[in-house]
Structure 1
């Protein structure tokens, strides 16, 4: 059984990681969040950051996507299923409405599929990143 001191530290680290993620407006990797925590003077291991971010994702308190084989996280305040437009360069995300359920059923039916679930994210470059690339 974990000692009370270790449990208190674990709870404090969990809250620290959750707060740091909630203050982000974009999707971030565990390494980016870990670096930010270290820069802010926090003593938390990278493995702990990974564990806590994945726990937040499993509980529905964080969204997760994968870009270029890197798992990214963003705090999620919506309890219902939702979708994003995501900048591949900076991780900025905007919540969007997906195509209609009717459209998805029609496409699936016309190809002989039955929908069991869907994942819908659109990736590209935000206006700021496009402007920076042009300059």
Structure 2
């Protein structure tokens, strides 16, 4: 048995704990928020490990990643196909939505002399709960 084997097991266990915690979230969360949740549940996982694993999940397509106010947020990805969201800027709640058609995207790009290579489409605002809360203040 080498000294590397326990390290691999721990890393796998940490990855699983982080992945499960992310899957249990119904909103976009920051690495710091997820780290705090893990600590509250009694898990010992470093913040750097949470960042690294969330970025790895995002790069592999198992998590969505967006940026709000210069903060990277993550959400477990429930679809294998390309998709888009309505995102609450206050609480991070997300709803998957249909974007404008691919034809509209292509036509609009061509009208301005662009060749589409990829696109990102997220709509940001306040969810009904946060909107109602803001109006009552």
Shorter-normalised TM-score: what interval? over 0.9
Counterpart-to-counterpart distance in 2, 1:121 and 1:44: 31
Who is 1:74 aligned against?
75
Q: Secondary structure at the match of 2:73?
A: strand
Give TM-score scaled by structure 1 length. Answer: 0.97
Pair 1:89-2:90 in alignment:
yes
Count of residues in Structure 1 that have an aligned counterpart in Structure 2: 135
Q: CA deviation at 1:77?
A: 2.2
**What secondary structure sits across from 1:32 in the alignment?**
helix
> C-alpha root-mean-square deviation of aligned residues, in Å?
1.1
Structure 1 runs (4+) greater than 6 angstroms displaced: none
Q: What is the Cα deviation at residue 79 of structure 1?
A: 0.9
Q: Does 1:98 align with 2:75?
A: no
- The corresponding residue for 1:122 is 123
Corresponding residue for residue 54 of structure 1: 55
Q: 1:64 to 1:2 in 2, by over 3 A?
A: farther
Distance 1:125 1:11 in 2: 36
Q: Does 1:5 align with 2:9?
A: no
Q: Which residue does 1:18 correspond to in 2?
A: 19
Consecutive unaligned residues of structure 1, counting only runs of 5 or more, are none
TM-score, scaled relative to structure 2 = 0.95
CA distance in 1, matches of 2:77, 2:18: 14
- Could you tell which deviates more after superposition, 19-28 or 109-118? 109-118
